[in-house]
Amino acid sequence: MIGHNPPPSHQSNTTATRHQLTHNQLVNFLRFEIDKAETSATAVLIMKLRRAKRLDAIIGDTSTQSINHYTDQLLDNLLRDADRYAHFSDEEICLVLPDLANNAQSILAAIKILSELHKSFIADDYPVMLRPHIGIANFPELGRDAGQLLMYADIASDIAATNEQGYHVYQPEDRIKTETYSGLDIELGKAIKANELHVHYQPQINIQTGRCVSMEALIRWTAPGQRVINPATLIDIAEKTGLINTLTLWILNTALRHTATFLKMSIDVGISVNLPPKMLKDKELPQIVQQALDIWGVPASHLTLEITESLVIDDYESSLTMLSRLRELGIRLSIDDFGTGYSSLAYLKRFPVQELKIDILFIRNIHNSREDKNLVRTIIDLAKNFNLTTIAEGVEDQETFDLLRDLGCDLVQGFLYSRALSDTDFINWYRQHTLALHVISLDASITPKS
C-alpha cells in the first residue's frame, strides 16, 4: 500500500526548498505519517492566499513567482525539520505537521505563519500585502483517511476566510453543517419558481448629509424546515448548480419592482444589485437589464450594478466591452470589494465605472491596522482623482464613520444605520430616518448663535 511506503524525499524536486514536496509527494507523506503515528498528533493545514492570482493578471507571471518564492522562504524559516508543504495552486498551500505533542501546537503554528504573512513585502517593485487564511484538520481526532483530512482542512479554510482570527480548526459539527445543505439545489430551483425568496435592502448613507440616497439588494431565504440559509451559501449553491443567472434576474426584477413602489411613495433612492461573473458573459445582458427597467418604470440612473474586482481582471477586454454596453443604458457601475486586487490603475482609466466599494475587510480593521487605514485613504484619494464615488461597507460604529468622513469617503452602509430590511420595514425606516434628519435640521436653524 502507498501508505506504507517510506516518506518521499523532498530532494527529488530540485526547485523545492528543504520542506517542499509536490502535491502527490505530500499526500504520500501524510499517509506515511498517519500509518506510523502512535500517540503523536499530525495536523493538516490548508492556507489560501487571496491575492496572488489577481496581481499576476496585471503584472505577469514573474510577480506570482516572486510571491511564491517569498512564501517558500518564509515557510522554510518557520517550519520544523519534520514539517512539509506543497503548492496545490498559486493561491493554495497545504502543510503537514507531524509529531505534534498536542493539537494546540497546530493552532500556534497557524498563528505564527499568519502573523508573518500579514507583513507587507516587495515583489518586483510592487508592494504586496497578502491576506491568508488557514484551515486546520487534526489527526487522530478526525480519522486516518488522508483524503478526508485534506477535505476537512479545505472546509475549515473556507470557514476561516469569514472569521477575524484568520484560522479555523475543523470540528465534526462543521461536517454536519455542510450536510444540512445537501439537497438545497433542488429546493432552491423550486423556491425561485414559486417566488419564495426575499430581497432585503441595506441603506446607503451620504456621509455629509446623513440622507439615505440608495440601498443594496441582498437575497434572503428560509428553506423548507425553517432553515435560514446563509446568503453566501445560497449564492454558492446557485453558482454550482447553474441557477445563478436565474437567481440574479429574479433579484434584479424584485428589486426594481420594490424601487418603483418606493418612488411612487416619494422615497427617491437608488438600488444596487450584485452581478455574478457568469452573468457578465451573457451577450444579451444589456437587453435583459433594459427590459427590466422598462417593465417596472425605473429610471436607468437609479440602478447600480456591482461587479467584483477579480471579474474585471480575469477577462479584461471582454469585460470592458460589456461594461461599456451596460453604461450606454444610463445605469451606474460599481467595483465591489475594491482593494483586494492590484489592478486599480490599469483599468480605472479605461473602465466606465462610477463607484468604488471599499472591501469590508479593510473597514473592519481600520482602527487596528495602519496599513488598512493607509489603504482606505489611498483608495479614496484614487477615486477622487478619477472622479469616482467611494462607498464603505461594514460601518458599525460612530468612530469608524467619523474617520471615513475625515478621509473623504462619500457613502457608508452598515449596522451603524441599519441591517438589511424587508421592503415594508425599509419604508418605515426611511420615513423615521428622514424625519429625524428634519428635526435635527430644525433644531440647528433655531439654535441662537453665541
Domain ranges (residues) in the chain = 2-179, 184-439
Q: What does the mean pLDDT of the chain come to?
A: 84
CA distances to 134, 149, 155, 170, 182 from 175, rounded to whole Å, are 17, 12, 8, 8, 11
Number of neighbouring beta carbons within 10 Å of residue 321: 12
DSSP 343-361: -HHHHHTTS---EEEE-HH
Residue 38's pLDDT is 66
> Bigger pLDDT: 161 or 206?
206
Q: Say if residue 387's pLDDT is above 80.
A: yes
Residue 5's pLDDT is 42
Architecture field, domain 2-179:
2-Layer Sandwich (3.30)
User: What CATH number does the domain located at 184-439 have?
Assistant: 3.20.20.450
Instruction: Name the most confidently modeled range: 4-8, 335-339, 397-401.
Output: 397-401
As given in the structure block, the three cell numbers for residue 239 are 453558482
pLDDT digits (tens, 9 = 90+) for 332-359: 999 987 766 544 456 677 789 999 999 8
* Residue 293 contacts residue 303 (beta carbons within 8 Å): yes
Residue 134's pLDDT is 94
pLDDT digits (tens, 9 = 90+) for 179-196: 556 677 788 888 998 999
Alpha-carbon torsion 113, 114, 119, 122, what sign?
positive
